[in-house]
Amino acid sequence: MGDHWLPDLSGPTALGQLVSRAKEARDPVATERLCSMVKTFVTQTRQLGGHPSLGAQATVVAAVPANPTCADHVALQLAEAVGDALGVTADDEVIVRHNPTARLRDTDPALRRDLAVGAGYEVTRPLEGATVVLVDDVILTGTTVGLIAELLTEAGASNIEVVVASRTQRRA
């Protein structure tokens, strides 16, 4: 949907603040507002033709699974909002994560892929010909989303679309 940090990296954007309140502070009001914004974004993007194929043939809407050590799961709530916008029930069991890991944002970029692999993501069922909408709250480099997209493709998904609330970058 938008940037997490201001262009000069001096602080978060309004969206970045909202994502942080939802994710880090576990603020239910912020989470509800973020879900509403994502649902509106998906609906308007489709209606305005900005991405007419977004979810047009979606058969699965799934969230990037949370680290097992985290109590909250903003991405799952966002996936439910995306599913509502697309008329598809979010599936919280199609992708699972077996192992806790350090946070990718705190990891040397050269080591992120290995860390993501170590999380033990698994696609739990065949997805032959499925169009999957993969949802996450924040994307830094795309390492996790890329790995999960590979797993979805191996499981037979024919199309993978990604919806992310905010994109960030490593702060200097």
CATH 3.30.70 is held by the domain 2-167: no
pLDDT at site 90:
95
Structure pTM?
0.90
pLDDT at site 172:
44
Whole-number Å distance between alpha carbons of 154 and 149 = 9
| Domain residue extents for the chain | 2-167
Distance of CA 58 to the CA centre of its chain: 16
Q: Is 151 helix (H, G, I), strand (E, B) or coil?
A: helix
In angstroms, the Cα distances linking 170 to 3, 86, 155 are: 12, 32, 32
The pLDDT profile of the chain, 172 residues, written as one tens digit per residue, is: 889 988 888 899 999 999 999 998 899 999 999 999 999 999 887 765 555 556 567 789 999 999 888 766 899 999 999 999 988 999 999 999 999 998 887 888 889 999 999 999 999 999 999 999 999 999 988 999 999 999 999 999 999 999 999 998 754 4
Q: Which of 40, 39, 38, 74 is CA-nearest to residue 165?
A: 38
Provide CB contacts within 8 A for 7, sequence distance 6+. none
Whole-number Å distance between alpha carbons of 82 and 85 = 5
pLDDT at site 68:
86
pLDDT at site 49:
53
pLDDT at site 119:
95
Half-sphere exposure for 128 (CA within 13 Å, toward CB): 1
pLDDT at site 9:
84
45: part of which helix (H) or strand (E)? helix 28-47
